[in-house]
Amino acid sequence: MDGFDHHSEAFARNWRHEYARLRDEEPVSRTDAHGGYVVVTRYDHVKQALLNPRTFVCRREVTPKGAPEAVVGGVTIPTNPFRMGMMEMDPPDATFFRKLLVPWFSARAVEAAESHLGDLVTWCLDRVITSGRMDVVDDLANPLPALIMLDLLGLPMQNWSKYGVVLHQAAYREKGSARQIAWLQGDLRQVLTERRDHPPEISTPVDALLGAEHDGRPLPLDVAAEMVFMLLTGGIDTSTGLIAHAVCYLSAHPEQRDRLIADPELIPGAADEMLRYFSPGTGVARTAVEDTELGDAPIRAGERVFLALGSANGDPDEFAEPDRLELTREANRHLAFGAGLHRCLGAFLAKAELVLLLRETLRRMPDLHVDESGVRAYPTIPLISGFQAMPATFTPGPVVGPMSGANVPPPRAERLRRAAAELATDGAESGEEVWQPTDHEAVGGHR
Ligand code: HEM
């Protein structure tokens, strides 16, 4: 098959149809684009490859069995100019970094951080609520994931727009984005150098990386910075895309929106269905390290393979009526977060972000209406499907959060201090015993 190219504008405009055609006609096919690669579109095949990391590897230098020379691999096609942390490693290195980072992003950790996530959702909504208008991308979808990641990593909150915009533009390969990425990586190295000498009050994944030993030696600063860069890239524009898709969809389908308003308990299930239906991550790449097969189709050692997550999530053999967004879909085993060894580290966080945001937006802006004539989708979706602009209006409402006047929300440690001080004042006035945050609460985060 010639002509398939997940970087093309034609693909961005028509991906559902393009994937459906491939699934029917040639589920494991080949394209000449970007030096040639295999395109895998059926749910079973995509999952089979993701669950077989010995044969379908993530690392960037692959010497296939029986081949004379190394192939350039990695999880994108074409290969990224820089390594993407453990995403582009295989065991044992990938497992080492996963073990180090997983506790910070587990279901429990995310649940414990929920009130912090809520603070940031409130701050974003408070910034626009009295005006009755916003751009969903600039005012919600872009700032929220960036603020959440910086807060969680204890990085300067005022960097949200610099970092967020760079990662946002890199997602659709805006001109100059490679230079901006190099700037961001340099900036992170500098921030981490200072951080190593001045550890913060509340320990974060960044400090776990800076204090880690690998192969009996302290982890080099460059590698720690690479991991932090991975967390930011993984955590920011993916969620940006998902939030914008979700808000736009609910504005265009008021009956579905009203169901969620009437029964907010449906929101977590709806968030999974939105992940399936919109599949913000278009697909991921692997390299076959040995001759193998997917279904009846042979794959040769050294071939680059594109696992089309968006297509797997639309496969009618796995999902009944896949082209319908069914808010209460059951047994939704979607692959929007991948599967197996490299399954998204931020899956719990990403889902919690969307759930909190929808809950609050539907409550405070129930009549939010996106002006579809002003919506601009990414011109290309090689990595992530999202939007550049999405103007919207709603009935204005009151500001409710304590941080609404701040240009940037204060960092978590500061918010905890203020909350404790407020409680102390209230307690002193009422004569009650005063609550103080314990170490555990200070890290986990209930106020
Ligand atoms: C809607 C939001 C998100 C989507 C759709 C998404 C999607 C994905 C997918 C498909 C993978 C697998 C990559 C592969 O197999 O090659 C992945 C991995 C990863 N994601 Fe996410 N992600 C999202 C949010 C986040 C967030 C909030 C974080 C923040 C921590 C994050 C961090 C990561 C990391 C670090 C990996 C690499 C895991 C590894 O290689 O072991 N992601 N993500």
Mean pLDDT along residues 58-76 = 92
How many H-runs (helices) and E-runs (strands) does the chain carry? 17, 16
Q: Which amino acid does the sequence have at 149?
A: M
For ligand 1, atom 18, which residue shows the shortest CA distance?
344
Q: Is the CB of 336 under 6 A from ligand 1?
A: yes
C-alpha 300 to ligand 1 mean position (Å): 27
Angle at alpha carbon of residue 272, lines to 268 and 273, rounded to 5°: 115
Q: Are 102 and 208 in contact, with CB atoms under 8 Å apart? A: no
Q: What is the pLDDT of residue 1?
A: 56
How many angstroms separate the CA atoms of 232 and 182, rounded?
A: 14
Residue 209 near ligand 1, beta carbon < 6 Å: no
Q: How confident is the model at residue 164 (pLDDT cuts 50, 70, 90)?
A: confident
Beta carbons of 118 and 125 less than 8 angstroms apart: no
Confidence category of residue 441, pLDDT binned at 50, 70, 90: very low
pLDDT in tens, 276-302: 999 999 999 999 999 999 999 999 999
Which atom of ligand 1 is nearest to 58's Cα?
16
Percent of the chain exceeding pLDDT 90 equals 79
CA of 342 to the centre of ligand 1 (A): 8
Per-residue pLDDT band for 18 (boundaries 50, 70, 90) equals very high
Whether residue 434 is predicted with pLDDT greater than 50 in this model: the reply is no
Query: Domains of the chain by range and CATH?
Result: 9-410 (1.10.630.10), 413-447 (no CATH)
Chain mean pLDDT for the chain: 92
CA of 285 to the centre of ligand 1 (A): 13
Output the DSSP codes for 51-78: T-TTTEE--SEE--TT-SS-EE--SSSS
Verify whether ligand 1 is closer than 6 Å to residue 242 (CB atom): yes
State pLDDT tens for residues 357-410. 999 999 999 999 999 999 999 999 999 999 999 999 999 999 998 888 888 998
At residue 85, the pLDDT reads 96
With contact defined as beta carbons under 8 Å apart, do 246 and 278 qualify? yes
Is 145's pLDDT higher than 80? yes
- Kindly give the number of the ligand 1 atom that is closest to the alpha carbon of 88: 40
How does residue 69 score in pLDDT terms, banded at 50, 70 and 90? confident
The response to whether residue 230 sits with its C-beta less than 6 Å from ligand 1 reads yes
